[in-house]
Structure 1
Amino acid sequence: MSEQKSGNKKPNILFIIADDHRSDSIGVYGNPHVRTPNLDRLAAEGVLFQSVYTMGGQTAALCVPCRASLLTGANAFRSTVSNKEVTLAETEDRSLWELNPALAILPEVLRQEGYRTFGTGKWHNGKAAFARSFSDGANIFFGGMGDHVGLPVHGYDLDGIYPQEAAQMSSVFSSELFAETASDFIQSYESDEPFFLYVAFTAPHDPRTPPPGYSELYSPEGLPLPGNFMTEHPFDNGELQVRDEQLAVTPRQPEEIRRHLADYYSMITHMDEQIGRILHTLEASGRADDTIVVYTADHGLALGQHGLLGKQNLYEHSVHIPLVMRGPGLPQAAGIEALGCQIDIFPTLCDLTGISCPQTAEGRSLAPLLLGQAAAVRENVFAAYKSLQRMVRDDRWKLIRYYRSGGGGSERTQLFDLQADPWEVSDLSGESAHEPHLRRLEAQLLQWQRNVGDPLLIETAH
């Protein structure tokens, strides 16, 4: 450990990512109803980013493009590629999309720089990309979702093939399985090389079936409905019939939504305990002071907000993600309000480890915010959902544009003042007093679409 203390060795990285964990479902983000003591402690010992956003994607299975953007630092239109020619209207099938092989991948870059890279949990970005990225792994799940007990998981394959018949059905709840695997790796690690440990939980994604003893933690009757609960979305957003929206009856019933929230919070609390287990193992190993810990999620989820249930939308509950970092040289108990994007995590870790960020990554490093060298690195953040929705927000105002909503090529725009209306319930787009904000954001959104080569511009042009 003396080499670590001397500063000659790069810090280890423990990277934890959850599935469907929206930022407002963590205690430290201001939710008094969910119990997340370990994530709260991690934030108290590190940095809490208050305004980080996912960029969406071109398929309803948003974990694919969101994770691809995180892993490559590339925008939602570059991070994945289709394995056949498809129109934007045909992007529902997640099997059509894979991580763009032309892009560098975060663990791959770290591996090339001398890191021992180990992966466990969900990897929904292709077996070839996993083989490029990791020098070891265990209990790897190549899929989008499944029962939390009985997941088909793989051991590490030196050939990188991972044939389907080689998978073993897990007998332990997913969060416990992946936490145990991560803890075993930390306990047995003896190399002088720094490690990158990637732990990808499948929780709290449905099926929301918390293990015995946890489903009773939250009483549905005791949980308040969100401030933007609606029985139905006020208009057709173009994606009201997607699979996620069918998980509860429409019009939404308050009792059913409260039950969903109780199960969701139970899954989160159970996962939080498993995260605590990993952190405890890290501390017991003596490596905590030399390890950057990152906690984030691929995207959020509606669960009754705006009359929606899934993540196939661009409201705050679906695109605003948690991000917590703790590690050597980083401030403690710090909160950062400045805007950030999921693609910024890649260059940030490159900066914090002294590694040159590859040119294929287009995110902006958040390190200047962490180190007090800048008050902001972005003026805006943007997001996209299939050919149906686009979003831009600045430090106060947010615009969502809907294409083809309700059929017939119709369009609709929403404008929200997030400072006065964080629940996004008062659409100001029709008020003349706010037209300057509307026009400004429309121009910024169009410029971004041009800069990133948004396929929607090409399709609508024809």
Structure 2
Amino acid sequence: MKRIQSIAIAALVALTLAGSASAEQTKPNILFIFADDMSYETIGAYGLLDIDTPHLDELAKRGMTFSHAYNMGAWNGAVCVASRTMLNTGKFVWNAKSTNLKSYSQENRMWSQRMGAAGYDTYMTGKWHVSVSAPSVFGVAKHVRAGMPKQTPAGYNRPKDEEDYRNGWKPWDKKYGGFWQGGKHWSEIVADDGVEYLKQASEADKPFFMYLAFNAAHDPRQAPKEYVDRYPLDRIEMPENFLPEYPHAEAICGKNLRDEKLMPYPRTEYAVKVNRQEYFALITHMDDQIGRILDALEESGKADNTYIFFTADHGLSVGHHGLVGKQNMYDDSVRVPFMMVGPNVKPDSKLEAPIYLQDIVPTSLELAGADTEGVDFKSLLPFLDEDAPASDKTEHYDSVYSSYIGTQRMISKDGWKLISYPKIGVTRLFNLTKDPQEMNDLAANPEYAAQVKSLTKELEQQMDDLGDPMTSLTSADYQGK
């Protein structure tokens, strides 16, 4: 497989590079656009929600979309920290947690550093949230943001009812700061930075690696009023799997977890609709900023030799299953949108093969001819090669694993998902083919006992293979901190 993959990579890169003047100039540019808290369902072109994302829709038509891209889990409540650490190290979740990032970056092993060593100008703007500084690993880093825009007390436990909404926090009110801190919306600043850099890159000889990281669609879900007005509440549909309260919420993440306190308990239709209205508005506003970046790429003259990747660090519930945050194992939280556009990428192609969002790392490194030693994730380039063996695609990952601290473990395989809550001895089983909304728990049905046993065994094997600090699902012995 390695030899076939190497041949495919060489062929792809050779085609991409053909006709250019110098070795450095012929390498493809990499434009990585990264969202925060953005569920797989929030792309209009996917037809899952009534949401406006025209620029991302167009990107999906131009390239390849992976419908089942996952995040591998988290070792604390800030799921983005684990996701972004995995992304920038190329390490699986527990390897990423144990990696000494200061030493790792000093050895020039971070994603951007590997790209730089391959002859790339490296540029970053926006959300970082990794424990080494962005300026230390990128050639240029502008407007590096913390984990989230500052939330205010008024942004929590809302809205209780219509009167509370009328008298309370508004997403377009700049006095609350957050995305408005500094006077200009942070999504617009990411786009400004990206457009500015692309104007400079149009005159440069070296290839570029751009890491454009939006804080959207993380809370506080703030957007200009005209974007909120595009989503009157009668346009917002309630999630089919809505619950006023998830029965295991306290055990799996805690009702006092920051994310879960954004919306009142018990969840109401009104509160869910308002929160989803603001979520969609922030995504549509970000989509317009992405459109500006894509226009600037075209104007730069570099588009034909550029691979564009779009994804998010994890999803978000916003009312699904009675949950609000991303600290759970349901698809709305662990699955993200994922698109790849560029030379030799078949337009409007859709793949259901399970991947991890961090597979972008070896993919881009191989396109750049960069070092991939020590990278745990797998390249997606075999999916671009029509002559690659089918097994390289269908068995990219035999199963998908995810985790959350010491309270949740998950495995998804062949259309089935098993979720384990070891500390309370609860197992949940879903047939994703027949029940994509994960509403019908089959774990207690004797007819599926063998399925539960098989997936539990495989999940525990995955835990062993990945160095999971939880030694057993039955003992719930968690060695993490």
| TM-score strictly above 0.5 | yes
Q: Deviations over 1:284-333 (max 9, x none)?
A: 11111111101000001111111101111111000001110101121111
Rate the CA distance shift 1:448–1:294 in 2: closer, same or farther, 3 A. Answer: same
Supply the distance in 1 between the matched residues of 2:271 and 2:120 (Cα, whole angstroms).
47
Q: Deviations over 1:361-416 (max 9, x none)?
A: 11111211232324321110100100000000013000010022xxxxx3110010
Rate the CA distance shift 1:52–1:23 in 2: closer, same or farther, 3 A. Answer: same
Supply the distance in 2 between the matched residues of 1:170 and 1:118 (Cα, whole angstroms).
22
Find out whether 1:43 has 2:56 as its counterpart.
no
Rate the CA distance shift 1:293–1:461 in 2: closer, same or farther, 3 A. Answer: closer
Supply the distance in 1 between the matched residues of 2:267 and 2:146 (Cα, whole angstroms).
33
- The structural deviation recorded for 1:68 is 0.9
Residue in 2 that maps onto 1:58: 75
- The structural deviation recorded for 1:82 is 9.0
CA contact (8 A) 1:16 1:198 kept: yes
- The structural deviation recorded for 1:169 is 6.0
Letter aligned with residue 190 of structure 2: F
Supply the distance in 2 between the matched residues of 1:146 and 1:330 (Cα, whole angstroms).
39
- What is the root-mean-square deviation of aligned Cα atoms in Å? 2.4
Residue in 1 that maps onto 2:195: 183
Letter aligned with residue 40 of structure 1: D
Rate the CA distance shift 1:35–1:126 in 2: closer, same or farther, 3 A. Answer: same
Residue in 1 that maps onto 2:354: 339
How many correspondences in the alignment?
A: 426
Higher helix share: 2
CA contact (8 A) 2:128 2:144 kept: yes
Secondary structure, in 3 states, of the residue corresponding to 2:226?
A: coil
Query: 43, 49, 72: which one pairs with 1:26?
Result: 43
Supply the distance in 2 between the matched residues of 1:21 and 1:371 (Cα, whole angstroms).
29
CA contact (8 A) 2:135 2:141 kept: no
Letter aligned with residue 251 of structure 1: P
Residue in 2 that maps onto 1:146: 150
Secondary structure, in 3 states, of the residue corresponding to 1:293?
A: strand
Letter aligned with residue 121 of structure 1: G
Rate the CA distance shift 1:31–1:461 in 2: closer, same or farther, 3 A. Answer: closer
Residue in 2 that maps onto 1:267: 282
Residue in 1 that maps onto 2:427: 413
Supply the distance in 1 between the matched residues of 2:418 and 2:284 (Cα, whole angstroms).
33
Supply the distance in 1 between the matched residues of 2:302 and 2:55 (Cα, whole angstroms).
18
Supply the distance in 2 between the matched residues of 1:179 and 1:198 (Cα, whole angstroms).
12
Residue in 2 that maps onto 1:173: 185
Alignment of 1:58-457 (within 5 A): 58-81=75-98, 104-128=109-133, 130-146=134-150, 170-189=182-201, 190-236=203-249, 237-241=251-255, 242-359=257-374, 361-372=375-386, 373=388, 374-376=392-394, 377-404=396-423, 410-457=424-471
CA contact (8 A) 1:64 1:98 kept: no
- The structural deviation recorded for 1:258 is 0.5
CA contact (8 A) 1:111 1:133 kept: no
Question: Please, which runs of 5 or more residues in structure 1 have no aligned partner?
Answer: 84-96, 154-167, 405-409
Q: Deviations over 1:106-130 (max 9, x none)?
A: 11110111100000001100343x2
CA contact (8 A) 1:18 1:201 kept: yes
Q: Deviations over 1:194-215 (max 9, x none)?
A: 0001100011111011113111
- Percent sequence identity is 35
Secondary structure, in 3 states, of the residue corresponding to 2:68?
A: strand
